Structure 1
Amino acid sequence: MHHPGPPRFLHVGESVELAPRNPDPSAEFAWRLLDQPAESSVTIGDGAVVHLAPDVPGIYRVELDAPDGVHTQTVRAFPDPCREARFSVTAADVDGDLDGVDHAAVIGQFNDFTMGTHRAERTGEGDRADADDRSGEHVRASGNAGGEWTLDVALPPGTHEAIFAFGDEFDPHATSEVTVEGAGRPRVRLDGRREDDEIVVTATADAAPDGSVPSVEYHLDDRDALTRDAVTVDDETLRAPVDALPELSRVHAVAVAERHSIADTLTIRAEQVGERTRTVSVDRPADPPGWVRDATVYEIFVRAFAGDTVDTTFAEIERRVPYLASLGIDAVWLTPVCASPTRHGYHITDLFDTAADLGTRAEFVSLVDRLHDAGIRVLFDLVINHTSRDHPAFQLHRAGVPEYADHYERVPAAQDTTGVDWAGDDAPGHYFTWSRIPNLNYDSLAVREWMLDVVDEWAPLVDGFRCDVAWGVSHGFWKEVRERLKARDETFLLLDETVPRDAAFRENEFDVHYDTDLYATLRDIGTGDVPANSLFDALDDSRRHGYPDEALHMRYVENHDEDRYAADCDDGSLRPAAAATFTLPGVPMIYYGQERGVPTDRGTMRWHDGDADLTEFHRRLVTLRNEHPALRAPGVESVACDVYTGDPDHVVAYERGTADERLIVVLNFGSDPAVVTPDRDVDHTDQFGESVWTEDGIRVDDIAVLTTSNQE
């Protein structure tokens, strides 16, 4: 069915992409606006994929004329929460020499890290210059002879970062951070039950930090036969007669206060059993599969894994599966295995075949089977935001072949910052300085069909996708991918790379999310820039962003895009940082070599000369988490400690638990042991087994895990 999908929710100032599902490039599609607020003057485009930018709050109803019929979709626009803010840097902030530099590209989450859309021009003291953003609107940017560079841009409440890339390069560059005051995003959870002859849906709304108590809006799904006149809504409760339920109904809700929440969804299935009986089941389609809540993920940078005397191939990784099994991990994430001219593999030239240097498709399947035999699931690195510019499709695109004209993003030549003399009078779109990996154009039905074919090609072979540059692909496409995959296998996992993170990707799109906030905070703790208890602020950021409590976050200290933790941070702080990822709520991830002492981010795995003690430390972290349900449960509570020796700023303690088990975790990020006493009664046995009790308290080198004494 070509229906474009569920209701969409956004605020004025944003636009939403609307597209037919199961795209057919040879078919005819037409959109029209059926209804919009009286004050609205927006129009809708005439392509198969359109972008609607609401100009006033309210409900917009759109209609898609498709080969399989006419479909309607609801778009709900809320008031714009953004306020003008100023990014600013001075010459003293710049990492490099500004001699001869007369402009800077400014990038951040506000413009999808796209070079050339916002520029701060150096025009002389007191002078100002207009800079065009990518939508054609003007923003105010200025620089002066004294070395100050500024950019004014509208931002929602929260803390935001921008990079000033001088001369359109990252050398030199400077970073600016601004905080816009205001409420975070509220949250909502839907639950359903049957009461006699009715289905009852209850919304639990949670106020945002610094926000007021939210109200709740219910929205039915335009794809379903359940209509508004068949239900009754009373504040946070929706009721529907069981007899009025079609086979499938989807109920959506948002919490609304100063800002709106991401939507939560319930799926209601009704089945007629005999003449008088109807059975009803309710589920929450946005929740992650149960297996991942207890899982530990291990990322392999594939071409560095076999060692320094053997080229890595699928067969060589397969020979090392016993090592992975010995760690106790549950899932392996393999960096890209498709054909690519690069060592890292993210510049893909064939999305449907494996890289020749790694092995054949059959050998890849053999590796997957061997991992499955060891009880280890496999996450495939899905790269569908871009291709290599050496991909034949991009070459045909730039060479003017008509069938490929719309396959990649095109930007005005004036916006291009690459210095490449591109063919034609425009340039390809890309992020950062990634000129070798042009962005695909999801306004093209041919591209959408192509990328869905890629999804269908690899999904049957593996257990999940880690989705590269997930923030660069449209929300509507990810929603289609999720429904497509979950209809086949509810246990299939979707992990997003959204940097910085964005709760919108939790809305019926991804199961697990990069936690960039905790990652950055653990780095700052390790360098001594913030105290150890700052990790609680990082955890609280999830709530401010609007993630629901049931959302799962990937906790990590390293990955293939970052320097090794031990290279950046104080000696001895890697162990407590890794321990934090295993003892806080979420999904811990070990980056290959983290446990062996590999010194560089993509360095060769240290097999014969690795850090055996560090490896055993990570094995014990995995075992600890597996053996104690308290460490896999949601929720964390700060615990105060008296610190007798050591630096209190390097020590943090928290309680984790279930109804049957309560544990106190104490972490010491200092280079010297700390002797501490928690402010509650605990047993004098360290469940991790490294710490010992003294007259003053427990001596903690890196981590201690203590059972509360009041448990039965």
Structure 2
Amino acid sequence: MRKNLLKKMFALTLSSVMAISVLYGCGKEAEEPSTTINKADLTPQEYYGVDSWDAVEYEVAKEDHYRNYYEVFVYSFADSDGDGIGDIQGLISKLDYIEEMGFNGIWLMPIMPSGTYHKYDVDDYYDIDSKYGTLEDYTDLIDACHSRNINVIIDLVFNHTSSSHEWFTTACNYYKSLGAGEEPDFEECPYANYYNFAKTEDVKGKSTYSKISGSEYSYEGMFWSGMPDLNLDNPLVRAEIEDVVDFWINLGTDGFRLDAVKEYFSGHKTKNLEVLDWFETYIRSVKEDAFVVGEVWEPYSSIKSYYNSGFESFFDYGYGNNSGYIITNINTRNGLALSEKLEKTEKGYFESNPNMVNSPFLSNHDTGRIAGFCNYDENRIKLAGAINQIMSGCSFVYYGEELGMTGSGKDENKRAPMAWTSYKSGYGITVGPTAMDSDIVNQFGALDTQEKDIDSIYWYYRKMLHIRRTYEEIAKGSTTSIDAGDKEICAISKEYNGETMYILCNFGEEEKTITLSKDTYAYEKLIEYLVTNTDNEVKLNGDSITIPAYGIAFLK
């Protein structure tokens, strides 16, 4: 196995081409190559000097939902035209990077026209925001992604619209036209029943309602007055949503992320489940292999009950954010507790829906960055990222997480510009949301810096994602907790299609030697490992496994 391998990389050009100084043999350093090497042509073995690793990534079918997704906020990701705002053509220019990292799915935060920077209040469901580009740009993106076997899902926001949406403005004008005491006629103005309107006197004191100026009526907006809630009990509204789904599916979209699921009918889970059942049934009738994931910001027990709807996937909020199981147990060094939780929650979800595909994540656009969760400890940042990737299902990574980007507090800070270079100008660089704090510092460096350091968070993520894409049992296997005799060890087995893998993660700050009987667990060898510093290595001697602090062993 490797030891002190590939410790030096140097920049070749201002593009993504790098030259790598590879170290081979028994601690001897080879001469630097006289010819340049395109890193895109190198295998992970060459990246890390692992000459014993001959496994290749398994082929992922187009309809396979077990993918590694990369969440992209287009506004802050990559700018192609120099206006400082990210756009679709900028994203297209970075697809090689996304593919090279090991992602084969992209989740786009809202891209439809909107007056806000985040675009979660839609003005028009049938277009692209002009700041991002055109529908032609979008189809170019779809074609470019599909040529790389990258699936694309987009945010679909139908809990509410923008207060500037034509449906809403037409309805408000109608209510203003009504005389004193006059009731609305929904046949005369169908849009008057597209939202949750009520007489102001009937909703007096309800903070979620806002008055229509010049009218006796008010409307519900759970998030704020600029986001009026749609009336999802209305069949006409559902028909509109179905038309929107048809439109985007016909453009080649592979699925959707459903925003604010539990607020469809706030406080009424049964009605929310019925909406999900309707949507799941409809999407399957249009595109049987569409992938749809729902946002239910709730703990395990609630998400488990949402799976009773038959809906395929939800984000696993129990594991995400700074209070989730991953960060909590890493920070308290309780690996055993996490392994037990992994088994329990997975089994619970399958009890509710045997066809579910879990969607674990660490952070997203609504949370702080994981660097802050881990108190900027690079070892813990790497380990947290790895735990997310050994979970079964469809893993999600928020853009910049692979660089240890920072950002907390107000939402704009969590959506800062992608750190492509150490400079704040140049192709692809965005300026970020205008209300973002000006003192956000990415202390682990930008991509152009981390590419030169084989021990960077960037290279760790690349290796980790490659391992996930090499062994199907990681994403698709059933998880069983193993008590390795040390609570700082998170040990699990992953079984899929007759194959079993054992994964041991050291949550401790010191090297650990663990005995795992080959007779009991039927593994033959150490097939791969992850370490936070490439000076270290995992060693297998008989039944004894020595794992450095924060290291991970993969046995089979």
Q: Which residue matches 1:584?
A: 391
2:126 to 345, 349, 352: 352
1:298 to 67, 70, 80: 70
Residues 1:692 and 2:543 aligned together: no
TM-score, structure 1 as length reference: 0.54
Distance 1:631 1:294, change over 3 A: same
Q: Kindly, what percent of the aligned residue pairs are identical?
A: 21
Report how far residue 470 of structure 1 moved: 2.4
> C-alpha distance in 1, partners of 2:289/2:124?
27
> C-alpha distance in 1, partners of 2:555/2:346?
27
Q: Deviations over 1:566-621 (max 9, x none)?
A: 21234232222221222122211111111022212211111122344212212212
Report how far residue 471 of structure 1 moved: 2.8
Q: Which is further off, 394-403 or 584-593?
A: 394-403
Contact (CA 8 Å) 1:518, 1:538: kept in 2 or not?
no
Q: Deviations over 1:529-566 (max 9, x none)?
A: 96652352254245456523442110110111111112
Q: Which residue matches 1:704?
A: 552
Residues 1:565 and 2:370 aligned together: yes
Query: For 1:107-186, what aligned pairs fall within 5 Å after superposition?
Result: none
Contact (CA 8 Å) 1:468, 1:496: kept in 2 or not?
yes
Report how far residue 503 of structure 1 moved: 4.1
Alpha carbon RMSD of aligned pairs, Å?
2.8
2:248 to 458, 471, 477: 458
Q: Which residue matches 2:25?
A: none
> C-alpha distance in 2, partners of 1:297/1:666?
24
Contact (CA 8 Å) 1:635, 1:656: kept in 2 or not?
yes
1:622 to 447, 455, 465: 465
SS in 1 for 2:529: coil
> C-alpha distance in 2, partners of 1:392/1:293?
35
Report how far residue 311 of structure 1 moved: 2.4
Query: For 1:46-445, what aligned pairs fall within 5 Å after superposition?
Result: 291-306=63-78, 310-401=84-175, 402-410=189-197, 412-417=202-207, 422-423=212-213, 424-431=215-222, 433-445=223-235
Q: Deviations over 1:229-257 (max 9, x none)?
A: xxxxxxxxxxxxxxxxxxxxxxxxxxxxx
Report how far residue 387 of structure 1 moved: 0.5
Q: Which residue matches 2:504?
A: 666
Q: Which residue matches 2:482?
A: 639
> C-alpha distance in 1, partners of 2:314/2:195?
27
> C-alpha distance in 2, partners of 1:386/1:295?
29
Report how far residue 365 of structure 1 moved: 0.9
Contact (CA 8 Å) 2:211, 2:219: kept in 1 or not?
no
Report how far residue 622 of structure 1 moved: 1.8
Contact (CA 8 Å) 1:667, 1:700: kept in 2 or not?
no
> C-alpha distance in 2, partners of 1:471/1:418?
15
Report how far residue 399 of structure 1 moved: 3.1
1:593 to 385, 400, 421: 400
Distance 1:375 1:654, change over 3 A: same
Q: Which residue matches 1:448?
A: 238
Report how far residue 415 of structure 1 moved: 3.9
Report how far residue 418 of structure 1 moved: 5.8
Report how far residue 508 of structure 1 moved: 6.0
Report how far residue 434 of structure 1 moved: 3.2
Report how far residue 668 of structure 1 moved: 3.0
Contact (CA 8 Å) 2:359, 2:393: kept in 1 or not?
yes
> C-alpha distance in 2, partners of 1:689/1:421?
57
Higher-strand-fraction structure: 1
Contact (CA 8 Å) 2:208, 2:220: kept in 1 or not?
no
Q: Which is further off, 375-384 or 421-430?
A: 421-430
User: What amino acid does structure 2 have at the position aligned with 1:568?
Assistant: F
> C-alpha distance in 2, partners of 1:639/1:307?
47
SS in 2 for 1:516: coil
TM-score, structure 2 as length reference: 0.68
Distance 1:625 1:471, change over 3 A: same
> C-alpha distance in 1, partners of 2:241/2:219?
19
Report how far residue 370 of structure 1 moved: 0.8
Higher-helix-fraction structure: 2
> C-alpha distance in 1, partners of 2:190/2:132?
32
Q: Deviations over 1:5-29 (max 9, x none)?
A: xxxxxxxxxxxxxxxxxxxxxxxxx
> C-alpha distance in 2, partners of 1:484/1:548?
18
Q: Which residue matches 2:417?
A: 604
> C-alpha distance in 1, partners of 2:212/2:346?
42
Q: Which residue matches 1:175?
A: none
> C-alpha distance in 1, partners of 2:66/2:296?
22
SS in 1 for 2:92: helix
Contact (CA 8 Å) 1:332, 1:379: kept in 2 or not?
yes
Distance 1:416 1:586, change over 3 A: same
Q: Which residue matches 1:553?
A: 358
SS in 2 for 1:455: helix
> C-alpha distance in 1, partners of 2:475/2:346?
17
Q: Determine which structure has greater relative contact order: mean sequence separation of CA pairs < 8 Å that are 6+ residues apart, divided by chain length.
A: 2
Contact (CA 8 Å) 1:338, 1:355: kept in 2 or not?
yes
Residues 1:479 and 2:270 aligned together: no
Q: Which residue matches 2:16?
A: none
> C-alpha distance in 2, partners of 1:448/1:558?
31
Q: Which residue matches 2:52?
A: none
SS in 1 for 2:389: helix
> C-alpha distance in 1, partners of 2:258/2:157?
6
User: What amino acid does structure 2 have at the position aligned with 1:512?
Assistant: S
Larger of the two Rg values belongs to structure? 1
SS in 2 for 1:350: coil
Distance 1:692 1:663, change over 3 A: same
> C-alpha distance in 2, partners of 1:659/1:511?
21
Distance 1:658 1:351, change over 3 A: closer
Report how far residue 421 of structure 1 moved: 5.2
SS in 2 for 1:552: coil
> C-alpha distance in 1, partners of 2:490/2:149?
34
> C-alpha distance in 1, partners of 2:310/2:205?
31
User: What amino acid does structure 2 have at the position aligned with 1:559?
Assistant: N
Q: Which is further off, 419-428 or 557-566?
A: 419-428
Distance 1:296 1:521, change over 3 A: same
Report how far residue 485 of structure 1 moved: 2.7
> C-alpha distance in 2, partners of 1:607/1:514?
27
SS in 2 for 1:399: helix
Q: Deviations over 1:419-466 (max 9, x none)?
A: 9554344532233x4332121012323322222221111122211111
SS in 1 for 2:463: helix
Structure 2: gaps (5+ residues): 1-60, 176-188, 265-271, 408-413, 422-445, 532-536
